[in-house]
Each structure stands twice: as structure tokens, then as C-alpha cells.
Structure 1
């Protein structure tokens, strides 16, 4: 199993950072993927528990992620639910206010892969992409 963790401080308040990153289509700022919403949340909210997004990266087959926990302005947890060579994939975004303003994100992802070594390559690419993409949130949120 691979585990990556990225900590990032935003200038925008928690409400804006959360709202931006909760919106499925906005995750394309972090990942080199075409992201399409497939289903709204089971609780009647757009990005709530049970909402599903499809990610398509280059020529690879698409896969789906489903939100499993959503606490507004605090927490988003999700997992891959269809179509991936990754196993046990779980993502977790924890949002907190920073003293003096702004917000903090702790983003953790853990997973394994069916092909030995693939998880190591994907972990490096994910960590790099997330670190490169998070500064965009302050501009776009």
C-alpha cells in the first residue's frame, strides 16, 4: 500500500476552499484528467455522500470515485468504486481554519495496485500533481 499526504495553506477561508474542492469538476485543477459528474449525492446535495464522478486520464480507461463522507467545511472522504487497477483506494481531505485567516488542507490518499510497482509510480505522480495544483485554489475559489 502507498500513502501520500500533502499539507497546504490557502489564503481563502475554509468555506471557499471546501466549496471549490468539493465540486467534482474543479478537481481537474489538481489532476490531469477530464472529470465528469455522474451522480449527485444521495442526501439531495450536489456533492454529498453518494455523489459520483468519472475521471478519464489520457487514453486510460475511465474510473469512478464516490464520496463516502462529507462534513461541510471540514471533511471529504471518497474511494474508487469502479474501473481502476488500484485497490483499496481511499482519499481524505481535512479542512481547518488557520489562526489569523485562511485555511489549511490535509489531503491523504492511500492505495495499492494489481500490478507490482504501479502504485509507486502513481503515488509520485499524484503527490506532484496535487502540490502543483493546490496553489490554483486561491485564484479560482
Structure 2
């Protein structure tokens, strides 16, 4: 079991299907952390579904994430499958509807590849989310 965990919980004043579609779209999803990506492999049944691979970043600092669970309007799980300073990774995003609003429960679990860097990576992930996610999610509320 991975040693570090980042839990990010949000409520978005937008319908579940719109919020899920935002998170399922690789290019829009990475804006939550202030990054960019491209899909390098389509999923088995849906372009961004199970088996889909997104490459985040560019050059030597890029890494790949593969979608390993995809249940529309309910759940998206992904794993880092190439690159990155982490290992034993699982990102899990759960969605629930609450009177026209959407609850997001997002957990990232991992072990650092470099000893003693886990706490720093947790802080970096939280800071990137805090800096970028509110603005991206507000965009959904205006739509």
C-alpha cells in the first residue's frame, strides 16, 4: 500500500454529467494542476476511457498516466505508467450528485522514487491544485 496520500474534496455548483465530462477530458483535467497534456493512446471503448494514456508535460520531465477504471458519472481511476518522481501510484476520483451540485472526492496515493521526498511531493500537489483548480471549476459553474 502506498505510503503517501493527497485527498482533495470539492463541491461544484454544476450538474454531475458536466463535471464528470470535464474530469474525463484529458486536456481539461490537467488544467486543474496548471499543466497540459495530450492523449497518446485512445481507450478501449471511449477515447478517454479505460486503457487511454495521457502524456503530461514535455521532454524529459513528461510522464504518462493510464486510465484503469472508468464508470461514467461515477468514477475515474488512473495510474502513472511512465516517468514521474513517484511509484505505486493510484489516482481515484469519485463523483456524487447532491441537489444539482457535484461532490468530488479525489485521492492520490503514491510512494516517492527518491527517499525523503514524499512530504514535499504532497505539498507540491496540494499547492498546484489550490492555485489552479478553483478557477477551472468556477468555469463549470458559469457554463
What TM-score does the superposition give when structure 1 sets the normalisation length?
0.90
2:51 aligns to what? 50
1:139 equivalenced with 2:136 (yes/no): no
Bigger share in helix: 2
Secondary structure at the residue paired with 1:134?
helix
Q: Any residues of structure 2 matched to 1:31-110 within 5 Å, and which?
A: 31-43=33-45, 45-56=46-57, 61-98=61-98, 100-110=99-109
Unmatched runs of 5 consecutive residues or more in structure 1: none
In the TM superposition, what is the alpha-carbon distance from 1:14 to its structure 2 partner? 0.6
Deviations 1:30-83 (A, max 9, x none): 12322111111012x1111000000117x7521100000000000000000111
The alignment yields a C-alpha RMSD, in angstroms, of 1.6
TM-score after normalising by structure 2: 0.89
| 5+ residue gaps, structure 2 | none
Poorly superposed stretches of 4+, deviation over 6 Å: none
1:4 corresponding residue in structure 2: 6
